[in-house]
Amino acid sequence: MKQTRDDKRTTVEIRHLYKIFGDDPKGALAHVEAGMSKTEILKEHNHVVGLNDINVEVKDGDITVMMGLSGSGKSTLIRHLNRLIEPTAGEVVVDGDDIMAYGDEALRRLRREKMSMVFQNFALFPHRTVLENAALALAVRGVKRADYEDEARRWLDRVGLGGNADQYPSALSGGMQQRVGLARALTSNAPIMLMDEAFSALDPLIRTDMQDLLLELQAELSKTVVFISHDLDEALKLADHLVILKDGYVVQQDEPQAILMNPGDDYIIDFISDINRARVLRVRSVMRATAQPQPNVAGQVHPEDTLEKVIAISGGETGLRYAVTDDEGRQVGILEMQDLVRALVPTGASESGMRTRASA
Amino acid sequence: MATYDFVFDALGLRGWCGEASTDTDAPMSMDELLAQSGGGGGGAAPAVSLWELPFPSMDALNDACAAFPQSRELTQGLERGFLNAKDAMSFVLDPLTQPLSWALESALYGILTTPWWIVIPILMAITWFVSRSWGLLAFVTLSIAGLAFIDHYDYAMQTLAIIFVCAFICVLIGVPIGIAMSRSDSFQNGAIPVLDMLQTLPPFVYLIPLIFLFSVTEPKLYGIAIILYAIVPVIRLTNLGIRMVDPHVMEAAEAFGMTRRQKLYGVQIPLALPNIMAGVNQTIMMSLAMVVIASLVSAPGLGVLVLRGIRNLELGVGLVAGLGIVILAVILDRVTKASLARINAQQKS
Ligand SMILES: Nc1ncnc2c1ncn2[C@@H]1O[C@H](COP(=O)(O)OP(=O)(O)OP(=O)(O)O)[C@@H](O)[C@H]1O
Ligand SMILES: [Mg+2]
């Protein structure tokens, strides 16, 4: 049985986090807490609300994706997790410690040993070779070249750059540079990985490659990943837990399938209206959960199969019914093709049929 | 009666001025001297038309009120103040700058007592080391050999020695100052006017206070003048270079837990190096310009010959020395630029 979210350990907890940019953030905080909107605060008090009462739990081994449009505060939020930005109010708790209480030394240790980071614009050191870049985290800790070389080469090999170790970053394409960025984060061996729009600057094809690489690595390493994205398809592909931000506050956070099936408000409905639902929705989201065998099943499907795959299997026939069986071959539900087709219609158009969420 | 009597009368300051308001014991101003020699001297108050109204300058006001200082007292006061502070200043500055004298003396001594067949290969080696260019090496060798051939070897080497010492000290002091400026905006705001002043002050003016402070026979006199004049670009470009380091790269350094020291030596200085080297190039060129002027205060080298050319109207001597300076300038410029280009190429490739 799959581990549910509640069973997992909370690695990073963000509690009531506020960030206000301006001359008197504490003063403006009172207005934010009193419920003034971002635009009002900007107009009347000339302060920018970066983050507004953020509460998120990042679970161990999950990919938590924070997404939102430009200016929604994604970069600001992720930079609070390793305190590249100081909050106006609130706490960030990492493995039980409030990192806001950390001094310089403790903070450096956190950044060196617990968290690594991948940046949208790669931010490699142009004056160091690919190998030296990949080994940055180790070099910072004082490890000598002879001792870090093997480790760095191993990770460069792993991201497919074994042959480029002695080149300088400027000799590499964008996609390859970001592989170095990824290798740099992996070589640090930190359990938490922060990725700020790590793949946004890449061409679509290379982006897909990188996403696949990340998922592959994740299956192997089970890091705790916080991933920032403004691309819904990317978010849905990667996320175990999806946090949607708007104007600095959290609009909705949940498992991606749940958000697709039960969007919290009009903003989210708008947001998800353009995606290819057949490709991202999974059988478990539209099946009726039951162990009771049913007559006339046309075959068996897996709960994690996408609807697209089931449509292909069914040959487009809408009257069919499938048994949903897990890895051990036990039946966990029944999928009616009718439900499947209904689920393909964007939420706003089919209120009643959609909201019956079968998975308990 | 003088034009501005009414000012003091109106302010009720007549008493402060003293009764005899005209030409008492105050030294005569230039105007008065001219007026006297012009033969118009006399007590009669000239009726001044509006057209000839003098600016209410210190001298004009002194005419009206003897207690008001003349402008020459300003310059005299400045001089007196400086002379009073001089002893205290030399007491502090003398020992502090003594190493500069030693450095210059030993560099001059060293470069002249070492035989030419050692010095020239050393210079060639330095050229090769920083530029790795055969063409430049050949150019430098031929130029120095040419200067030696026309018996200007000693002068040229003296000039070079002074430039080496001064430029080295400029880098030694200038780079840390530039780093400090890049780290603190308030320090930068305070330092920039000083740098602006150092850069705009005419080179001769540097010499004036220094002549009072140190004896003209001491090498540090011209050493300090050269350093003050030439240090500005290396400070400015170090500051600029560090401030221009990609903020994203700095953020990555921060995110991976680098200390301030690691960031400085591992990221900021290496990435600012092209700019710092451009500053060093300018510093060296400015040292060369100043070392010629400094021959007025006993700096040895090619400048002395230029000066002799001017003083004794020895046209040939002056022109040949001038040509020698041009050759040195080209050598220094090319060699520093070549090393700069090499650093740039290293960072790009
Ligand atoms: N240093 C700052 N000073 C003032 N305002 C800031 C600062 N940094 C961010 N902001 C503001 O905070 C808000 C959130 O910015 P942030 O960069 O976190 O957005 P983002 O979601 O990462 O957007 P993007 O997709 O463009 O990267 C924006 O309105 C931005 O203008
Ligand atoms: Mg951003």
Task: Give the whole-number percent of chain A exceeding pLDDT 90.
Answer: 63
DSSP A320: -
DSSP state of A111: I
Average pLDDT of the segment spanning A333-356? 70
ipTM: 0.87
Question: Residue B28 has what pLDDT?
Answer: 59
Please name which of B337, B273, B132 lies closest in space to residue A127, comparing C-alpha atoms: B273
Residue whose CA is at the smallest distance from ligand 1 atom 12: A50
Contacts with B327 (C-beta within 8 Å, 6 or more apart), sequence order: B143, B146, B147
**Cβ pairs bridging A and B (under 8 Å):** 61
| pLDDT tens by residue, A55-94 | 999 999 999 999 999 999 999 999 999 999 999 999 999 9
User: Of A128, A225, A219, A140, nearest to A177 (Cα)?
Assistant: A128
Q: How do residues A30-59 score in pLDDT, each as one tens digit?
A: 988 888 888 999 998 899 999 999 999 999
Q: What is the mean pLDDT of residues B278-287?
A: 94
DSSP reduced 3-state for B291? helix
**Which CATH superfamily is B82-348 part of?**
MetI-like (1.10.3720.10)
Q: Which residues contact A265 (CB under 8 A, 6 or more apart)?
A: A251, A252
Q: Are B251 and A121 in contact (CB < 8 Å)?
A: no
Separation between Cα atoms, residue A271 and residue A260, nearest integer Å: 10
CB contact under 8 A, B255 and A108: no
Cα separation, B207 vs A97, whole angstroms: 63
Provide the CB-side half-sphere exposure for B90 (13 A, CA): 14
Nearest to A192 by CA among A118, A97, A84: A118
Look at residue B105 in the predicted model and tell me its pLDDT: 93
Give A107's contacts in chain B (Cβ within 8 Å): 257
Distance A72 CA to ligand 1 centre (A): 7
pTM score of the predicted model:
0.84
Put simply, the chain A residues between 156 and 185 with a CB less than 8 A from any chain B CB are: 168, 170-171, 184
| Distance in angstroms (rounded) separating the CA atoms of residues A38 and A245 | 13
Q: Are B174 and B237 in contact (CB under 8 A)?
A: no
Banded model confidence at residue B34, pLDDT cuts 50, 70, 90: low
Q: Helix-strand-coil percent breakdown of chain B, rounded to 5?
A: 80, 0, 20
Predicted pLDDT at B16: 82
Of all ligands present, the nearest one to the C-alpha of A245 is 1
Q: What's the pLDDT tens digit per position in A192-230?
A: 999 999 999 899 999 999 999 999 999 999 999 999 999
Q: Which residues of B touch A (CB under 8 A)?
A: 246, 248-249, 251-259, 262, 267, 270-271, 346-349
Q: Closest by alpha carbon to B277, among B181, B191, B178, B143? A: B178
Given a cut of 60, is residue B21 above it in pLDDT? no
What DSSP assignment string belongs to B223-275? Answer: HHHHHHHHHHHHHHHHHHHHHTS-HHHHHHHHHTT--HHHHIIIIIHHHHHHH
- Give the model confidence (pLDDT) of A124-153 as tens digits: 999 999 999 999 999 999 999 999 999 999
Q: What residue ranges do the domains of chain B occupy?
A: 5-69, 82-348
pLDDT of B47: 63
User: In sequence order, what are the residues at sequence separation of 6 or more whose Cβ sits closer than 8 angstroms to the Cβ of residue A247?
Assistant: A37, A38, A49, A52, A71, A72, A73
Spell B43-64 as b/e; 16+ CB within 10 A means b: eeeeeeeeeeeeeeeebbbbbb
Q: Which of A102, A127, A228 to mutate to test the interface with B (most CBs of B within 10 A)?
A: A127
* Closest to A22 measured CA to CA, from A1, A2, A41: A41
Are B162 and B291 in contact, with CB atoms under 8 Å apart? Answer: yes
* Confidence band for B188, pLDDT divided at 50, 70 and 90: very high
- Give the Cα separation of B95 and B79 in Å (integer): 24
Question: A127: nearest CA in chain B?
Answer: B347
B70-74, B83-87, B165-169, B343-347, range with greatest mean pLDDT: B165-169
**Does A11 sit in the ligand 1 pocket, CB within 6 Å?**
no
Question: How does the average pLDDT of chain B come out, rounded?
Answer: 88
| In contact, A168 and A126? CB cutoff 8 Å | yes
Residue B231 near residue B174 (C-beta atoms within 8 A):
yes
Q: Are B124 and B140 in contact (CB under 8 A)?
A: yes
Q: Which of A138, A141, A147, A198 is nearest to A174 (CA)?
A: A198
Q: Among candidates A157, A194, A160, which has minimal Cα distance to A58? A: A194
What burial letters (b/e) apply to B224-256, b meaning 16+ CB within 10 Å?
bbbbbbbbbbbbbbbbbbbbebeeebbbbbbbb
